[in-house]
């Protein structure tokens, strides 16, 4: 509105300092805590040029969000901020609130992670956008509302004239995040900081919101700091990327350099621990061993050294500086303004060369004499597994022949009644959570159930376990019809069917010791105490924890370790089937890989069958034998993992696959995209005929009027298209979206 | 919004009916209004007792009496809620329960209203200040005052306040605070200014005593609610927009933090009404609290029922108002 003339040089990349919009130098943030000062951010420096996009990646606790909050002046008062951050040349660190609020939202704006909580529930979205305009411009309310309307159009909200008068709870998550983006754009800022802007959203919606962000940025010419843990999102949307670890920037450079030629073992490890859509199944993930450091007890020297396979003495003694490597392989200092430099904080960054992650972070202990230092716990897990496989040789013999079906689901339906609010609680409608699902789970296989939130995948898992009763349909396990059993009759069968939960923090009783937690299922099923004790030890070993961990409480463990405890509990009764409900989605990438590997090992050695419920197609592609894709309570496509990812035939599956960002800058920017529009319709009122038709790109763009009629009137059946690959689309057509090798 | 309001109002009808049944049954089973008469030595003539039983309708069965109490059909014209009659009193033939209540309601409402307003205003103020300056000296001071107020019994604190009032009067040499009576008689015939000073003199001390516990619990509640909102994402976003701090606090934090307080205050009205029993006793006001105490002493069951039902109605109405206010304050409620 006011500074359009300044922004005309967008697109050019002059090397001077005059186009620097954000300059951060030696920024440190310390929080006081009961256990002493907590250094959340340590000496972070970077510059951001006009119109540029910088990604900052890191796991939880790496300090990536705190850095941005410090720049915005939004940290709690007790935080100590040192160093400097300049927005358009003006220092903002230490600025008084009245002064910094003139810059905030005006020259530098921020987008937060959770769109469901970012907007005030008691004001209309129009008011909340207009408020941002009025905070910095002396215009009338009418003018501000007009501007709000323009902004809603800009971020791609349909029917903005109606939306502007609505309250946040009347909008979906994706729409709300667009509103937040509109607020950030309101005053045409020079810098936008987006802190995990799409983490809380489903993938297809994520793609839409990222597009809206791009469009809005193009319109205003703002520079972007994109903070995320998702390397795929970074690969597709930024020019440069910085990697943070333990409160420090440990690597920074142009996005291709960092992704293809990482100079810091952590960045390499992070890339290696990602399950990838563009790789075939079977390759083992290479997790980074150990856990991210506690900021209260940072190791001396390099913060990554305890987990680093390359670490030598100097790494444990001296913290490396962020330096570039010149042509001669010397580590040299470059000015922070040099935005083309590739810098890394590693004493041996020159030696990393072309190393592949699996060479450095080997996941097994076979090569005991190599540089690989295995975590003691991982080793114990290996040994425990070896013992089991020695004693139980029968488990791998029969892999050749056709696996037997052990769990069958037929025409499963679950409707939740919607009741009126009055005294009478009349039934006014139904949420059709699951609408006729049929599945088989075979012995020792992993069947993945994938779909976006609200598609009914978790409800299906709960129905299978008979934790809730189906409206109709059948569930049978080893020929026994579970849906007819009383809770008492069901009990002995529960030994065989166990569940691992999504949230490792909420699923363990904080007042019970780890031993008690793991022993509880055995106690319920009447095993003696001494018996259970021995078994707990065995189980702890099995999941890579040590037996002395048993006397501790859940809060003493990290997320990954807690999930291992949850898995140990599920294994306590020697189950045959595990239902895994998003078991790794709450974990950081480097930790997630370890848990995935553990699940794969356990399946191999114990002969388990997995029903793997997930929204993450990359993980599914890595772990599953077969996949069923769900949309609004129905299965739309199912087949072997290999087949389904190589040649998806349902438009929804195609859209899902193409919406998942690949952690590869070139592939991500050049791949073919199938974009779906809008949000998932309410399961209380699903569309007639094909439930996907309202968002289907094929329905919208390719089909003729007469062809569409069929989609509207006739619900498609799940039809076999050969070799067990089935889809529910009247006009299905195979499409190859992924090329299966890393460039 | 209208539909919502109508639905809420209709929803109170069954609650009111239930309240009347409970009130009636509870009082009816809790004692014989004529027990004192029967215990008299020498025993009164059976015909006297019979006469009293007939007058108080004790010769009928309980369901009959309930029906009579509500409708007045088949009574002597002195009973029937729907006809505006609360029933005969044990205290004397001429003691008209309805007239008594009408007379005393104004006295008590004056006290309750003032105490509620004062408690609410101060609680919001204290809660907001406490939350804004969490773990500061002023937060600790307000917390201390809050817990002190919660732990002080009304009859004791009332006595202290009376004493303090007397001491203050002695110190300044004129009677600033009145410590006994409701002052309504003294206000008669005064001009506006006279009535204001009169109200100040008579109401200040009892109001402080009555509001104290409510203020304490509401201020704690407001502090928690305000803290939660201050740490919410939308307040952070409001700051990120560049709104000045006071606008963020007033428009985004306080406005939303007040919503849960409406429920707490509505429920708290019952506590304030109960509190009048003790407060009026200490300051010797002739309000409903005193009416209640007399009714208990005199075993006056119809008077007790009237008092209980009235408190019940006040609580139900307060909740109704809170429900409707909730709908106004929180746009999410109307649609859910």
pLDDT of residue A227: 95
Crossing angle for the helix pair A376-391 and A529-542, nearest 10 degrees? Answer: 110
| Closest-approach residue (CA) in chain B for A107 | B242
Whether residue A486 sits in one domain with residue A585? yes
Work out the average pLDDT over A346-374: 60
Whether residue A422 sits in one domain with residue A349? no
Instruction: Using an 8 Å CB-CB cutoff, list chain A residues near B17.
Output: none
d(CA B247, CA B14): 44
Whether residue A434 sits in one domain with residue A368? no
- What's the gap in Å between the CA of A226 and the closest CA on chain B? 16
pLDDT of residue A52: 94
Taking 90 as the threshold, does the pLDDT of residue A721 lie above it?
no
d(CA A522, CA A528): 8
Instruction: Using an 8 Å CB-CB cutoff, list chain B residues near A132.
Output: 241-242
- Residue A251 domain-assigned? no
d(CA A483, CA A412): 10
Taking 70 as the threshold, does the pLDDT of residue A16 lie above it?
no
> Which residues, given as ranges, of chain B have pLDDT below 70?
334-336
Number of domains in chain A: 4
- What's the gap in Å between the CA of A107 and the closest CA on chain B? 10
- Residue B69 domain-assigned? yes
Instruction: Using an 8 Å CB-CB cutoff, list chain A residues near B232.
Output: 117
Whether residue B85 sits in one domain with residue B164? no
Residue A676 token pair: 């779906």
CATH of the domain at A106: 3.40.50.300
* pLDDT tens, position by position, B163-180: 999 999 999 988 888 888
Whether residue A421 sits in one domain with residue A353? no
Number of domains in chain B: 2
pLDDT of residue B250: 93
- Residue B98 domain-assigned? no
Whether residue B113 sits in one domain with residue B58? no
Among A71, A122, A169, which would you mutate to test the B interface (most chain B Cβ atoms within 10 Å of its Cβ)? Answer: A122
Pairing of strands A20-31, A80-87: antiparallel
User: Which has the closest alpha carbon to A254: B320, A263, A245?
Assistant: A263
The conformation of residue A731, written as its DSSP 8-state character, comes to T
Strand partners, A626: A447, A640
- Residue A253 domain-assigned? no
What is the pLDDT of chain A when averaged over all its residues? 86
Whether residue A611 sits in one domain with residue A654? no
Interface check for B11 against chain A (CB to CB < 8 A): the answer is: yes
Residues with Cβ within 8 Å of A488's Cβ and at least 6 positions away in sequence, in order, are none
- Residue B59 domain-assigned? yes
| Cβ-defined contact of A106 to B242 (cutoff 8 Å) | yes
| Cβ-defined contact of B232 to A103 (cutoff 8 Å) | no
CB-CB neighbours of A357 under 10 Å: 20
* Domain-terminating residue out of B89, B116, B150: B89
Interface check for A421 against chain B (CB to CB < 8 A): the answer is: yes
- Residue A548 domain-assigned? yes
- Residue B294 domain-assigned? no
User: Which has the closest alpha carbon to A118: B232, B203, B270?
Assistant: B232
- Residue B291 domain-assigned? no
Taking 60 as the threshold, does the pLDDT of residue A44 lie above it?
yes
* pLDDT tens, position by position, A150-184: 999 999 898 999 999 999 999 988 999 999 999 99
Pairing of strands A240-245, A80-87: unpaired
Interface check for B3 against chain A (CB to CB < 8 A): the answer is: no
* pLDDT tens, position by position, A202-255: 888 898 899 999 988 888 899 999 999 899 999 999 999 999 999 999 999 999
Taking 50 as the threshold, does the pLDDT of residue A264 lie above it?
yes
* pLDDT tens, position by position, A253-262: 999 999 999 9
d(CA B63, CA A36): 71
Q: Which of B7, B242, B252 sits opposite A422 (nearest CB)?
A: B7
Place of tokens 């204290």: B126
Instruction: Using an 8 Å CB-CB cutoff, list chain A residues near B245.
Output: 97-98, 101
d(CA A583, CA B72): 68
Whether residue A508 sits in one domain with residue A409? yes
* pLDDT tens, position by position, A541-562: 999 888 888 899 998 888 889 9
Query: Would you list the DSSP string of B272-315?
Result: HHHHHHHHHHHHT--SHHHHHHHHHHTT-HHHHHHHHHHHHHHH
d(CA B272, CA B325): 20
Taking 90 as the threshold, does the pLDDT of residue A82 lie above it?
yes
CATH of the domain at B279: 1.10.3720
| Closest-approach residue (CA) in chain A for B335 | A170
User: Which has the closest alpha carbon to B29: B40, B21, B17?
Assistant: B21
Whether residue A205 sits in one domain with residue A160? yes
Place of tokens 């003139």: A102
Whether residue A345 sits in one domain with residue A306? yes
d(CA A314, CA A318): 6
Whether residue A171 sits in one domain with residue A112? yes
| Cβ-defined contact of B240 to A109 (cutoff 8 Å) | yes
Interface check for B45 against chain A (CB to CB < 8 A): the answer is: no
| Closest-approach residue (CA) in chain B for A185 | B241
Whether residue A158 sits in one domain with residue A68? yes
Residue A314 token pair: 């100097």
Among B17, B136, B237, B244, which would you mutate to test the A interface (most chain A Cβ atoms within 10 Å of its Cβ)? Answer: B237
Whether residue B131 sits in one domain with residue B240? yes
- Residue B309 domain-assigned? no
Interface check for B225 against chain A (CB to CB < 8 A): the answer is: no
- What's the gap in Å between the CA of A113 and the closest CA on chain B? 9
Whether residue B261 sits in one domain with residue B130? yes
Q: Which of B233, B329, B332 sits opposite A117 (nearest CB)?
A: B233
- Residue A245 domain-assigned? no
Whether residue B193 sits in one domain with residue B257? yes
Instruction: Using an 8 Å CB-CB cutoff, list chain A residues near B240.
Output: 72, 74, 104-105, 109-110, 112
Q: What percentage of chain A carries pLDDT values higher than 70?
A: 90
Instruction: Using an 8 Å CB-CB cutoff, list chain A residues near B256.
Output: 120-122
CB B187 within 8 A of CB B199: yes
d(CA B292, CA B272): 15
SS3 content of chain B, % helix, strand, coil (to 5): 75, 0, 20
Whether residue B143 sits in one domain with residue B83? no
Whether residue A675 sits in one domain with residue A595? no
- Residue A115 domain-assigned? yes
Crossing angle for the helix pair B288-297 and B301-329, nearest 10 degrees? Answer: 150
Query: Would you list the DSSP string of A643-705?
Result: HHHHS--SHHHHHHHHHSPPS-HHHHHHS------S-PPPTTSPPSSSTTTTT-HHHHHT--H
Whether residue B84 sits in one domain with residue B195? no
Whether residue B233 sits in one domain with residue B190? yes
The whole domain housing B181 covers 108-285
- Residue B165 domain-assigned? yes
pLDDT of residue A4: 40
Whether residue B180 sits in one domain with residue B112? yes
Pick from A192-196, A300-304, A739-743, B323-327: least confident:
A739-743
Whether residue B136 sits in one domain with residue B251? yes
- Residue B14 domain-assigned? no
pLDDT of residue B187: 77
Whether residue B132 sits in one domain with residue B81? no
* Domain-terminating residue out of B269, B285, B301: B285
pLDDT of residue B49: 87
Instruction: Using an 8 Å CB-CB cutoff, list chain B residues near A418.
Output: none
CB-CB neighbours of A629 under 10 Å: 27
- Residue A54 domain-assigned? yes
Which comes out higher in pLDDT, residue A375 or A603?
Answer: A603
Is the omega angle on the peptide bond into residue B28 within 30 degrees of 0, that is, cis?
Answer: no
Strand partners, A249: A244
Residue A641 token pair: 């993992």
Taking 70 as the threshold, does the pLDDT of residue A336 lie above it?
yes
- Residue A206 domain-assigned? yes
Tally of CA atoms within 13 A in the half-sphere of A272 that contains its CB: 24
Whether residue A103 sits in one domain with residue A187? yes
| Closest-approach residue (CA) in chain B for A70 | B240
| Cβ-defined contact of A136 to B242 (cutoff 8 Å) | yes
Whether residue B124 sits in one domain with residue B224? yes
* pLDDT tens, position by position, A480-497: 899 898 888 998 899 999
pLDDT of residue A6: 41
pLDDT of residue A739: 60
| Cβ-defined contact of A122 to B335 (cutoff 8 Å) | no
The conformation of residue A104, written as its DSSP 8-state character, comes to B
| Cβ-defined contact of A105 to B11 (cutoff 8 Å) | no
The whole domain housing A419 covers 405-624
- Residue A397 domain-assigned? no
| Cβ-defined contact of A101 to B232 (cutoff 8 Å) | no
| Closest-approach residue (CA) in chain B for A68 | B240
d(CA B209, CA B119): 10
Residue A281 token pair: 């199944």
């Amino acid at each position: 509105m006011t500074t359009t003339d300044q922004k005309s040089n967008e697109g050019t990349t002059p090397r001077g300092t005059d186009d620097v919009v954000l300059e951060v130098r030696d920024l440190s943030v310390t929080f006081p805590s009961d256990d002493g000062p907590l250094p959340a951010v340590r000496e972070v420096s970077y510059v951001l040029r006009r119109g540029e996009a910088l990604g900052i990646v890191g796991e939880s606790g790496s300090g990536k969000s705190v850095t941005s909050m410090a720049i915005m002046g939004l940290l709690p008062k007790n935080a100590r901020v040192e160093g400097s951050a300049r927005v358009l040349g003006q220092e903002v660190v230490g600025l008084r609130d009245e002064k910094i609020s003139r810059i905030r939202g005006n020259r530098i704006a921020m987008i937060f992670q959770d769109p469901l909580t970012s907007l005030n529930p008691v004001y209309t979205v129009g008011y909340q956008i207009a408020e941002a305009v009025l905070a910095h411009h002396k215009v009338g309310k009418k003018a501000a509302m007009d501007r709000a309307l323009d902004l809603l159009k800009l971020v791609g909200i349909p029917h903005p004239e109606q939306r502007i008068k609505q309250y946040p709870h009347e909008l979906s998550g994706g729409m709300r995040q667009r509103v937040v983006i509109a607020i950030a754009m309101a005053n045409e800022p020079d810098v936008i900081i987006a802190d995990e802007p799409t983490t809380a959203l489903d993938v297809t919606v994520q793609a839409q919101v990222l597009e809206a962000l791009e469009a809005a940025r193009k319109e205003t010419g703002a520079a972007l700091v994109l903070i995320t843990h998702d390397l795929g999102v970074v690969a597709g949307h930024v020019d440069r990327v910085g990697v943070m670890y333990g409160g420090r920037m440990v690597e920074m450079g142009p996005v291709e350099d960092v992704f293809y030629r990482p100079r810091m073992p952590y960045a390499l490890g992070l890339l290696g621990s990602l399950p990838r859509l563009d790789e075939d199944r079977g390759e083992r993930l290479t997790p980074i061993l150990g856990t991210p450091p506690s900021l209260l007890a940072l190791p001396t020297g390099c913060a990554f050294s305890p987990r680093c396979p390359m670490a030598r003495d100097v790494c444990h003694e001296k913290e490396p500086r962020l330096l570039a490597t010149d042509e001669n392989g010397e580590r040299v200092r470059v000015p922070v303004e040099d935005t083309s430099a590739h810098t890394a904080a590693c004493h041996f960054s020159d030696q990393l060369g072309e190393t592949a992650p699996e060479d450095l972070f080997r996941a097994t202990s076979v090569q005991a004499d190599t540089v690989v230092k295995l975590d003691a716990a991982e080793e114990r897990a290996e040994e425990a597994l070896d013992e089991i496989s020695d004693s139980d040789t029968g488990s791998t013999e029969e892999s050749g022949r056709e696996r037997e079906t052990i769990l069958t689901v037929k025409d499963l339906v679950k409707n939740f009644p919607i009741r009126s609010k009055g005294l009478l609680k009349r039934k006014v409608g139904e949420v059709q959570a699951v609408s006729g699902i049929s599945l088989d789970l075979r012995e020792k296989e992993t069947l993945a159930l994938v779909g976006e939130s609200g598609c009914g995948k978790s409800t299906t898992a709960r129905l299978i376990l008979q934790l809730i009763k189906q409206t109709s349909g059948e569930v049978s396990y080893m020929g026994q019809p579970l849906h007819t059993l009383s809770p008492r009759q069901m009990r002995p069968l529960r030994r065989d069917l166990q569940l691992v939960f999504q949230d490792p923090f909420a699923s363990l009783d904080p007042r019970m010791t780890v031993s008690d937690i793991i022993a509880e299922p055995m106690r319920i099923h009447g095993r003696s105490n001494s018996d259970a004790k021995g078994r707990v030890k065995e189980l702890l070993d099995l999941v890579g924890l040590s037996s002395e961990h048993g006397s501790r409480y859940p809060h003493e463990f990290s997320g990954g370790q807690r999930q291992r405890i949850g898995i140990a509990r599920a294994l306590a009764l020697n189950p045959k089937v595990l239902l895994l409900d998003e078991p790794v989605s709450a974990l950081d990438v480097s930790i997630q890989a370890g848990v995935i590997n553990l699940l794969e090992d356990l399946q191999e050695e114990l002969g388990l069958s997995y029903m793997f419920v997930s929204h993450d197609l990359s993980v599914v592609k890595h772990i599953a034998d077969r996949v069923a894709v769900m949309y609004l309570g129905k299965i739309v496509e199912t087949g072997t993992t290999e087949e389904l990812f190589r040649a998806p035939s349902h438009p929804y599956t195609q859209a899902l696959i193409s919406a998942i960002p690949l952690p590869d800058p070139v592939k991500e920017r050049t791949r073919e995209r199938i974009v779906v529009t809008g949000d998932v319709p309410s399961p209380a009122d699903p569309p007639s005929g094909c439930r996907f038709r309202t968002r289907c790109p094929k329905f919208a763009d390719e089909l003729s009027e007469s062809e569409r009629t069929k989609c509207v009137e006739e619900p498609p059946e799940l039809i076999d298209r050969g070799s067990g690959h089935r889809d529910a689309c009247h006009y299905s057509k195979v499409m190859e979206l992924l090329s299966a090798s890393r460039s | 919004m209208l539909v919502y309001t109508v639905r809420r109002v209709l929803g109170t009808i069954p609650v009111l009916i239930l309240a009347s049944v409970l009130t009636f049954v509870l009082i009816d089973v809790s004692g014989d209004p004529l027990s004192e008469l029967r215990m008299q030595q020498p025993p009164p003539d059976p015909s006297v007792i019979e006469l009293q039983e007939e007058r108080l309708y004790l010769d009928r069965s309980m369901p009959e009496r309930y029906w009579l109490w509500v409708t007045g059909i088949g009574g002597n014209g002195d009973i029937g809620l729907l006809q505006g009659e609360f029933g005969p009193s044990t205290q004397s033939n001429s003691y008209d329960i309805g007239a008594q209540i009408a007379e005393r309601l104004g006295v008590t409402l004056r006290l309750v209203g003032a105490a509620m307003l004062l408690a609410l205003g101060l609680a919001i103020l204290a809660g907001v200040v406490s939350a804004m300056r969490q773990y500061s000296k002023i937060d600790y001071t307000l917390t201390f005052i809050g817990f002190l107020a919660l732990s002080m019994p009304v009859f004791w604190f009332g006595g202290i306040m009376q004493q303090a009032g007397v001491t203050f009067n002695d110190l300044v040499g004129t009677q600033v605070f009145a410590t006994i009576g409701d002052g309504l008689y003294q206000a008669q015939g005064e001009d506006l200014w006279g009535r204001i000073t009169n109200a100040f003199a008579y109401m200040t001390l009892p109001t402080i005593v009555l509001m104290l516990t409510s203020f304490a619990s509401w201020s704690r509640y407001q502090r928690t609610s305000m803290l939660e909102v201050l740490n919410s994402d939308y307040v952070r976003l409001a700051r990120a927009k560049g709104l000045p701090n006071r606008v963020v606090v007033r428009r985004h934090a306080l406005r939303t933090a007040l919503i849960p307080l409406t429920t707490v205050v509505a429920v708290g009205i019952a506590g304030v009404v109960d509190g009048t029993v003790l407060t009026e006793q200490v300051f010797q006001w002739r309000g409903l609290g005193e009416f209640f105490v007399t009714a208990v002493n005199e075993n006056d069951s119809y008077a007790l029922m009237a008092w209980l039902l009235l408190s019940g109605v006040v609580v139900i109405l307060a909740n109704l108002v809170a429900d409707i206010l909730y709908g106004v304050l929180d746009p999410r409620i109307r649609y859910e």
